[in-house]
Amino acid sequence: MLRSLLFCIALFCSTINIQAQKYELGKVTVAELEEKIHPVDSSAPAAILFKKGKTVFTYNEKVGFSAVHTYEFKIKIYKKEGLKWADQKVHYYVGYQNLREDMLEFSNAVTYNLENGKVEKTKLESQGQFKKKINEYWNEKTITLPNVKVGSVIEYKYVLKSENIGEFPDFDFQFDIPVDYFEYKTEFPEFYIYKTILTGKNKIENDAKLGNGNQSFDNEYGQTRKLSYKQINAFYSGKNIPALLEEPYVDNLENYRGSIKHELERIRMPEQPVKDFTITWEGVATTIFKDENFGKELSKRDFLLEDVKKLLGNVESLEERTNIIFKFVQNKMNWNEINSCFSKKGVEKAYKEQTGNVAEINFILLNMLKLAGVDANPVLVSTIENGVPVYPTRTGFNYLIACAEIDGKQILLDASKKYTSPNILPLNVLNWKGRLIKSDGNSKEIDLVPSKASKEISNMVATINPNGKIDGKIRIQRTDYDAYRFRVQNGAKNQQDYIEKLEQQLGDLKISDYSVSNKITNLSDPILETFAFETNNFVESIGGKLFINPLLFYAKTKNPFVQEKRQMEIYFGYPNQEKILVNLEMPEGYDVESLPKPAKYVFQDNSIIVMMNIMKDGNKIQFSFSKDINSSTFAAEDYDSLKMLFQKMIVSLDQKIILKKI
């Protein structure tokens, strides 16, 4: 299934001349201040009355071109929950190696209130501005607008100056409150060609045309010079953008946010060769390998040679060599919690210190695999929280894994995390597709979402006593990503703490004889949990009859899908099969009065299959339930049908076994 992001790219309205209404700071009306609710979305706690942006270039002889990004906001507060918009935070980059750090300045920050029928304005004083260092790469500036209350209108402006002309801040025009109007202007010198990517489902208008640009600057002798050139002037605008709200089963909200993104695609300076950056995937691969923090680090192998020899001995199988090297790197190296496609301190230093970022650890893995004769290449990935790179892009990736190709079979590897195994990656890496790249410029798409379903299979044997007490044993097997998820959540937990929490989650059971295997070892094998239990909480006695839900503490009583409308895809993460087998022994002196009806529900070409069956065999009742989700993602347009299927499942599973005395 194609991700909705592909067909949700907002469409350009080609060559439309837009006469934009004037939206200016400092012009607040009594009517705006008197407005009690948003005219379109009455639930909105606040609304952005307008957001304006502009990106232009400046020039000086020493630095060359720099970018200046200017943003203006006007926001109306309707409810108490909207008061958080009085605090505005903006991050800016300071971690460049060859450029000066970005500069950010707030201005025109004013709060407007209606006092005795008149508009009263309160300006932000300097004590309302704060600056702090986030890390070695990012700083943050914050403003807190004064005297903000329900009914206020607030305005502010900020300017970001940056020598980084290769990657611009995204111009977001959709937030968790409505946007009444936005506009964004860009003026790009003809020397720089940018790729424009629009995300979200909102229709926007745009106009682009060729114009004239010029820059005045002082040369090294203090003489004023003028640089003239052609430039591409673009204008984007939109109205009535709805709020983008959290929904259950969403991979990353940012994938669906209305936004305008720019990435440098080509530089064509006069009398110089044209530089291509991201026109094709081959261009992406070639550009990245030329980066000394990428290609150079993937050629440093000599310092690993002795360790590879010691590890492999007489091992001939390439797959076994791969597994041995993977486990060695995974155990030796420790992730410093930094995601990157590039080395920061170099693989030699990272190896010596036994710690590094994602790229450094997986570069070490790749270099050792190559020394072992394994065909292995890097795969660029954008994690779920980073979004989906739809078009050829270099900056859209923030993560790197390895791919070993043995006998025509691909094995995906990430040694930076402690619970991964061959072809089992961190959950936030399962983000549609990655890009395998080679040093010769060749590249290809790699499916990151597994086609094989992970399984969670539970077998329960229990005895029902006449007084309603249930004694039983359960065996749970988890494979692949279900096993990985369990390891991540519980691998470091104290077992007794885990058991106590499990007892609460399952309805105040009393658990005994607990055991678990392969929790933190044998990571390619299934996890197996077994325990005995007893409980008085799952049998209801009414009029001498016993009422029992056949799934006991696994009963499913709530539909996860309760919204009336759905904006975003439904994301389950990976294909999954859940299977529960229950064998209940009836109490002596009781027999079946009625059993739940078997059921089967199928969704769209078997992408989801739900089955339940029940039968009586002597004094035992056997119940089986299975839910196969064979696709990781479903379109928003399927939401109503999916919601209905889950509701039918809930109703069927709510049927009770009824036992009567004989």
- Residue 390's pLDDT is what? 64
In this predicted structure, the answer to whether residue 450 has a pLDDT above a threshold of 80 is yes
Q: How many residues would you count in the chain?
A: 662
- Same domain? For 365 and 285 the reply is yes
Mean pLDDT of 155-178: 95
572 burial (CB, 10 Å; 0-12 / 13-18 / 19+) is middle
Inter-residue contact 315 to 324 (CB < 8 Å): yes
Q: E-assigned strands of 136-223?
A: 138-144, 153-162, 171-172, 179-189, 192-199, 205-218
Q: Is 70 exceeded by the pLDDT of residue 367?
A: yes
Among 22-36, 206-220, 475-489, where is mean pLDDT lowest? 206-220
Phi, psi of 29 (to 5 degrees): -105, 160
Last residue of a domain, one of 276, 296, 315: 276
Q: Helix, strand, coil proportions of the chain in percent (round to 5)?
A: 20, 40, 40
| Residue 412: both structure tokens together | 């995906």
Contacts of 336 (CB under 8 A, 6+ apart): 355, 356, 357
Angstrom distances, CA of residue 96 to CA of 136, 138, 265, 605 = 10, 10, 20, 51
User: Do 306 and 271 have their domain in common?
Assistant: no
d(CA 655, CA 662): 22
The count of other CB atoms within 10 Å of the CB of residue 495 is 12
Cβ neighbour number for residue 409 with a 10 Å cutoff: 9
User: pLDDT grade, residue 548 (50/70/90)?
Assistant: very high
Q: How confident is the model at residue 324 (pLDDT cuts 50, 70, 90)?
A: very high
CATH for 409:
3.10.620.30
What is the pTM for the complete model shown? 0.84
Is 475 in the same domain as 408? no
- Of 276, 299, 319, the residue at which a domain comes to its end is 276
Does position 17 have pLDDT exceeding 70, yes or no? no
Q: Are residues 285 and 149 part of one domain?
A: no
Rounded to 5 degrees, what angle do the CA atoms 392, 398, 399 make? 105
CA–CA distances in Å: residue 618 to residues 539, 592, 621: 20, 10, 8
382 lies in the same domain as 496: no
Q: Both 486 and 370 in a single domain?
A: no
**3-class secondary structure, 532:** strand
Task: Give the model's pLDDT for residue 375.
Answer: 97
Say whether pLDDT at 279 is over 80: no
pLDDT at 401 over 50: yes
The last residue of a domain, from among 257, 276, 295 = 276
Higher pLDDT, 281 or 336: 336
Residues of the domain holding 61: 4-276
Task: Indicate the pLDDT class of residue 16, thresholds 50, 70 and 90.
Answer: very low
Q: Can you give the pLDDT at residue 223? A: 80
Average pLDDT, the chain: 92
Tokens of 608: 């989801």
Q: How many distinct structural domains can be found in the chain?
A: 3
Which CATH number characterizes residue 460's domain? 2.60.120.1130
> From the CB of residue 308, how many other CB atoms can be counted at a distance below 10 Å?
20
| Segment 184-232, tens digit of pLDDT | 999 999 999 998 989 888 999 999 999 999 998 887 777 888 899 999 9
**Confidence (pLDDT) at 4:** 40
pLDDT of res. 1:
39
H-type alpha helices, 333-412:
347-353, 358-371
The 10s digit of each residue's pLDDT in 496-531 is: 999 999 999 999 999 999 999 999 999 999 999 999
**Per-residue pLDDT at 391:** 67
- 133 and 105 inside one domain: yes
- The answer on 593 and 638 residing in a single domain is yes
Higher pLDDT among residues 1 and 529, named by residue: 529
Residues 480 and 398 in one domain: no
Q: What is the pLDDT at residue 61?
A: 83
How confident is the model over 84-89, as a mean pLDDT? 96
Average pLDDT over residues 529-546: 95
Please check whether residues 441 and 532 belong to one and the same domain. Answer: no
pLDDT at 281: 75
User: pLDDT grade, residue 121 (50/70/90)?
Assistant: very high
Find the CATH number of the domain harbouring 14: 2.60.40.3140
**Residues of the chain above pLDDT 90, percent:** 81
User: Hey, what long-range contacts does 614-618 have (CB within 8 A, 24 or more apart)?
Assistant: 614/550, 614/657, 616/592
pLDDT at 126 over 90: no
**In terms of Cα–Cα distance, which of 25, 567, 649, 617 is closest to 257?**
567
Bridge partner residues of 185 (DSSP): 54, 235
What per-residue confidence (pLDDT) applies to 613? 98
CB 388 within 8 A of CB 569: no
My answer on whether 413 and 357 are in the same domain is yes
Residues 302 and 176 in one domain: no
pLDDT at 278: 64
